[in-house]
């Protein structure tokens, strides 16, 4: 079932056109990655989804109806972990629910329940400075997931991490996703990350216009494990490199 439909969306800032005629769908339970050169409008596109910005043209629909102006069906994980340094782990994880109007006590109870599956058992009373970078990203991800919104929007989720931690977290995310059925839209600079995480990778063009292309990644490829040695992966990465170049 199609959850999200982006139809001919355009956005300009003053006289600079950033997005033009962008269209794509996201199905229930899919991971869709969006890649594009720096400045191609990836963050702008996410802001159009969250409602921080409004499109100048086109339409965004959710579950067959226009996207509501308020109470959007997304939980957003920002590029940097954006944890508040004066709040402990569980308090940070509960913020998104509190903003939605859930009582502080209930929000923290729900966040606390997820600490263990998120590999954060025993960290409830720690401050962000007492966590590793990977743990901070897990708290940030938990803060999005606990909101139980239909779609998770991830903005460069692992970009700031070292390669080993990134690999661990990608594997962990895929294992969690397999058991949860989350629908995820993820923007990233990293072709390898896009191919590893996503069912489909969408390429934004360098100069505004319709998507430069799309590459499907078979679910038969063992993404959580074995991805690096699977012979089906290099051709997909090469195709994405070519699309990114052609988009120039």
Ligand X SMILES: Nc1ncnc2c1ncn2[C@@H]1O[C@H](COP(=O)(O)OP(=O)(O)OP(=O)(O)O)[C@@H](O)[C@H]1O
Query: Which distant-in-sequence residues (6+ apart) come within 8 Å of 108 by Cβ?
Result: 90, 91, 94
For residue 247, the minimal CB distance to ligand X (Å) is 12
Among 5, 31, 40, 153, binds ligand X (CB under 6 A): 40
Q: How many CA atoms lie within 13 A of 215 on its CB side?
A: 27
| 237 in Cβ contact with 209 (< 8 Å) | no
| 7 phi/psi in degrees, rounded to 5 | -125, 105
Under the binding rule (CB under 6 A), the answer on residue 50 touching ligand X is no
Under the binding rule (CB under 6 A), the answer on residue 18 touching ligand X is yes
User: Site size for ligand X, by CB under 6 A?
Assistant: 11
For residue 234, the minimal CB distance to ligand X (Å) is 24
What is d(CA 163, CA 156) in angstroms, rounded to the nearest whole number?
14
| 68 phi/psi in degrees, rounded to 5 | -65, 150
For residue 66, the minimal CB distance to ligand X (Å) is 23
Residues 180-209 that bind ligand X (CB under 6 A): 189
What is d(CA 159, CA 132) in angstroms, rounded to the nearest whole number?
15
Cα 7 vs. chain centroid, distance in angstroms? Answer: 20
Question: Of 37-45, 139-147, 208-216, 217-225, which segment contacts ligand X by CB under 6 A?
Answer: 37-45
Among 2, 8, 39, 210, binds ligand X (CB under 6 A): 39
Question: Of 42-50, 97-105, 157-165, 175-183, which segment contacts ligand X by CB under 6 A?
Answer: 42-50
Give the binding site for ligand X (CB under 6 A): 13, 18, 36, 38-44, 189
């Amino acid at each position: 079932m199609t959850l999200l439909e982006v139809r001919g969306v355009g956005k300009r800032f003053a006289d600079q056109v950033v997005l033009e005629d962008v269209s794509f769908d996201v199905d229930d339970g899919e991971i869709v990655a969006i890649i594009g050169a720096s400045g191609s409008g990836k963050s702008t596109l996410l802001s159009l989804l969250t409602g921080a910005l409004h499109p100048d043209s086109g339409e965004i629909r959710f579950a067959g109806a226009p996207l509501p102006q308020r109470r959007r069906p997304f939980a957003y994980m920002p590029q940097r972990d954006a944890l508040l340094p004066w709040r402990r782990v569980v308090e940070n994880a509960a913020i998104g629910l509190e903003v939605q109007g859930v009582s502080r006590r209930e929000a923290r109870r729900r966040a606390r329940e997820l600490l263990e599956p998120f590999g954060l058992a025993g960290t409830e009373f720690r401050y962000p400075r007492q966590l590793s970078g990977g743990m901070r990203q897990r708290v940030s991800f938990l803060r999005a997931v606990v909101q139980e919104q239909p779609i998770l929007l991830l903005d460069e989720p692992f970009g700031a991490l070292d390669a080993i931690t990134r690999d661990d977290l990608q594997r962990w995310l895929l294992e969690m996703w397999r058991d949860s059925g989350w629908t995820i839209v993820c923007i990233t600079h990293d072709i390898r990350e896009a191919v590893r995480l996503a069912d489909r990778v969408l390429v934004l063009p360098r100069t505004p216009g319709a998507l430069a292309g799309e590459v499907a990644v078979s679910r038969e490829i063992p993404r959580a494990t074995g991805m690096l040695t699977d012979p089906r992966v290099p051709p997909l990465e090469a195709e994405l490199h070519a699309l990114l170049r052609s988009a120039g």
